[in-house]
Structure 1
């Protein structure tokens, strides 16, 4: 019983660490939690039209992600320092042109036994202690106050905006008044910013309304409004852009600071 109490105390101390200091450190829950892009599988660079990622929620004992085609979810167990067990994965059943990346990813995840973390890189190892998957932090969690100001939309549902747009969709975040305003490519829009303080990168937009002018490109207009209504979280990408994501972690809007 004393040994068990000691282990809990040590574990609590480890959980207070906020980042991976080196690959020699025990990986804490804080290190692991969050979403990671899949960069390599079995030593081969991932080349997928839509970026696969893995998300870890150690507190709730779950893993989730996206294979580039289907959503996946399963259970995870952290039994010992740097040891991890992933339960059998369940996934959606969409058929996509590239099913090979998905197959390799699911096979690699099924073989994972341990992990190491260094900075923004996480390596998953199989039973033979050979790396099976290389991951990199998908985004940085930043305070809501970091969103303040003007942003322009650079991609929508992973695709670049049509060339030659007369008015580029743009958003302004007033985090003090909890308001979002802007334009969807033609019409003006406004709505409320909702943020759950218990989930630091949560965001959603309520009561989004827009003017109703007829525009040459209503497709982009409608997609911007649809994307805004689906947003549930945000994060800062390595390129400095802001990602707004739907419930499943899909980036529906990518923004950059207006110059």
Structure 2
């Protein structure tokens, strides 16, 4: 039998070539629906987004928004590092899916292409999650128009000591009106050109009364200064996010008598 010899250098070149081709064929950037965790289909429409330009992971675990860091290993194709995985702390009727998604994310060490999308694996190559490409929902500033009660500041439920804090957006005039917990506040908001989910408040003017709601008001105004974008959640609530994509204010649409009346 005729034997074919290949040098170590040539063999290494073949390996590098094949690895390079494989790594280029799997692009995980963008948003993905979580189809299954450890082979079992999930409910609640969880999804994961990979912002590779900024090294950021974001999404929804089925109830709460998730965030963290992401880094692709450029030396070892198919290896990935997820860091500082965290989530907001809202309670939902079904938390089982969320728990499974978060536990799986903390074990992710690799990724590979699948017939329908991408699979995330652990350090031993075991498939943890199956993902399919997600079409990002259309975002419009008109989605925030109207009045919203402020429910949380920096993830903590607001305790109403005086006036109920709220914000009312007039999209047509780029104006915002509301109450921080004690005083009436008025101001404006703007968006970055070409960034439909961006949101930045202008200087806010308020009345100067003193009352038991001043502590809450201080927290609300401080959070408003950090706002850089917004997200309309699947349950209809509105999250106002800082530049690091952390939720600083959670708002609930007011469908009853307006608080400004």
Q: TM-score w.r.t. structure 1 length? A: 0.60
Provide closer, same or farther for how the CA distance between residues 140 and 256 of structure 1 changes in structure 2, counting only shifts above 3 A.
farther
Q: Name which of 159, 168, 173 aligns with 1:172.
A: 168
Question: 1:198 aligned to 2:191?
Answer: no
Supply the distance in 2 between the matched residues of 1:226 and 1:103 (Cα, whole angstroms). Answer: 33
- SS of the equivalent of 1:214 reads coil
1:253 matched to 2:252? The reply is no
Partner of 1:158: 155
Distance 1:166 1:43, change over 3 A: farther
Match of 2:19 in 1: none
CA apart distance, 1:217: 2.9
2:203 is paired with a residue whose SS is strand
Please point out which of 209, 224, 235 is paired with 1:228.
Answer: 224
1:12-161 mapped onto 2 (5 Å cutoff): 33-34=30-31, 55-57=49-51, 60=53, 62-65=55-58, 71-75=68-72, 85=78, 87-88=80-81, 105-108=105-108, 110-114=109-113, 124-126=119-121, 131-133=127-129, 140-161=137-158
Assess if the C-alpha contact under 8 Å between 1:187 and 1:211 holds in 2.
Answer: yes
Q: Deviations over 1:64-121 (max 9, x none)?
A: 359x9994242489xxxxxx945445669xxxxxxxx98963431x22223687xxxx
* Superposition deviation, residue 183 in structure 1: 0.7
How far off its partner does 1:142 sit?
Answer: 2.3
Distance 1:183 1:89, change over 3 A: same
> What RMSD over aligned residues (CA atoms) do the two structures have, in Å?
4.4
Q: Is the 8 A contact 2:175 2:187 kept in 1?
A: yes
* Structure 1 residues 204-236: Cα deviation after superposition (integer angstroms, max 9, x where no partner): 112123222212132211111111111111111
Unaligned 5+ residue runs, structure 2? 1-24, 41-45, 60-64, 86-100, 256-261
> Which residue of the partner structure matches residue 258 of structure 2?
none
Superposed CA deviations along residues 227-254 of structure 1, whole A, max 9, x for unmatched, are: 1111111111111111111111111111
Contact 2:32 2:131 in 1 (8 A): no
Q: What is the CA-CA distance between 1:178 and the residue it aligns to?
A: 1.1
| 8 Å Cα contact 2:189/2:202 also seen in 1 | yes
CA contact (8 A) 1:141 1:201 kept: no
TM-score (norm. length: structure 2): 0.60
Distance across 1 between alignment mates of 2:236 and 2:67: 27
Cα distance 1:85–1:27, how it changes in 2: closer, same or farther (>3 A)? closer
Unaligned runs of 5+ in 1: 1-25, 45-51, 78-83, 93-100
Larger radius of gyration: 2
Alpha-carbon distance in structure 1 between the residues aligned to 2:242 and 2:82: 21
- Report the number of matched residues: 204
Q: Secondary structure at the residue paired with 1:244? A: strand
1:189 is matched with 185
